[in-house]
């Protein structure tokens, strides 16, 4: 079992795509372990995107992610990080495989709808930024035995 953080970004919230995006992850068999609607402030955004500080796109990225509410979620399941990243598609929607979230709903790299952690260590750090341990709920779904061996 693996966990990952998802951020349904401001453009997806404003365009009314939250339900469609969540449904895609659930249909893949991933389980929602935590979820909330929040408005990311500059301090949290700077912590989340610290790795990009000093890059030309850093300031616009901070403005964008703080511009509107987002939905943050913890998803878990077998190989959750890889499943999420393949479901999202390439960072640049123009290069994303048809059928992925970014290919189906996006046009520009700066409005790519969704973020997903890129590895286990990143996922753990990102989850801790947005959720306390008590907010990430362990539970078994009745369908879990039909999803994973």
Active-site positions? 115
Nearest to residue 24, comparing CAs of 98, 100, 93, 77?
100
Q: Are 27 and 73 in contact (CB under 8 A)?
A: no
36 strand-pairing partners: 72
- Cα–Cα distance measured from residue 52 to residue 91, given in angstroms and rounded to the nearest whole number: 15
């Amino acid at each position: 079992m693996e966990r990952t953080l998802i951020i349904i970004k401001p453009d997806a919230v404003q365009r009314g795509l939250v339900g469609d995006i969540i449904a895609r992850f659930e249909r893949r068999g991933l389980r929602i372990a935590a979820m909330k609607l929040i408005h990311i402030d500059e301090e949290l955004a700077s912590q989340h995107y610290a790795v990009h500080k000093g890059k030309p796109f850093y300031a616009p990225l901070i403005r964008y992610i703080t511009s509107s509410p987002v939905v943050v979620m913890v998803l878990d399941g077998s190989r959750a990080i890889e499943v999420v990243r393949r479901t999202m598609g390439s960072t640049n929607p123009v290069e994303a495989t048809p059928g992925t979230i970014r290919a189906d709903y996006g046009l520009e790299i700066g409005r790519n709808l969704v973020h997903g952690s890129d590895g286990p260590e990143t996922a753990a750090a990102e989850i801790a930024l947005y959720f306390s341990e008590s907010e990430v709920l362990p539970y078994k779904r009745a369908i879990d035995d039909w999803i994973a061996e």
